Amino acid sequence: MARATAMRPVRRVLGMMSGTSLDGVDAALLETDGAAVLRAGESAYRPYSEAERAVLAAALGHWPGTPEAEAAARVVEAAHVDVARGFERVELVGFHGQTLAHDPGRGRTHQAGCGARVAEALGCAVVWDFRSSDMALGGQGAPLAPFYHFALARAAGEAPLAFLNLGGVANLTLARPALLLPEAEGALLAFDCGPANAPMDDLARARGLGGRDDDGRLALSGAADSDIVAAFLGSPYLTRMPPKSLDRNEFHWLLEAVAELSDNDALATLAACAVAGVLRGMAEWGRDAATLLACGGGRHNGALMAGLRAGLAQRVLTAEEAGLEGDMIEAQAFAYLAARVAAGLPTSCPGTTGVAAAVGGGQISRP
Same fold, 11-140+327-365 and 146-326: yes
Give yes or no for residue 356 having a pLDDT over 70.
yes
The CATH code for residues 11-140+327-365 is 3.30.420.40
Q: pLDDT tens for residues 44-63?
A: 999 999 999 999 999 999 99
Which pLDDT does position 243 carry in this prediction? 86
Q: Where do the domains of the chain lie?
A: 11-140+327-365, 146-326
* Percent of the chain's residues with pLDDT above 70: 98
Express as a percent the part of the chain with pLDDT over 90.
88
Q: Can you give the length of the chain in residues? A: 367
* pLDDT for residue 4 is more than 60: no
Q: Is the pLDDT of residue 343 over 60?
A: yes
**What mean pLDDT do residues 115-134 have?**
97
Confidence (pLDDT) at 38: 86
Classified by CATH at the fold level, domain 146-326 comes out as Nucleotidyltransferase; domain 5 (3.30.420)
Q: Is the pLDDT of residue 3 over 60?
A: no
pLDDT digits 0-9 by tens, 185-198: 999 999 999 999 99
Q: Is the pLDDT of residue 72 over 70?
A: yes
Q: Identify the pLDDT of residue 304.
A: 98
Q: Using alpha carbons only, what angle is made at residue 282 by residues 196 and 28, rounded to the nearest 5 degrees?
A: 50
Outline where the chain has alpha helix (H).
50-59, 67-84, 115-122, 132-136, 146-156, 197-206, 217-220, 226-233, 236-239, 253-257, 263-285, 302-311, 329-343, 350-353
| Per-residue pLDDT at 6 | 52
**Predicted confidence (pLDDT) at residue 292 exceeds the cutoff of 90:** yes
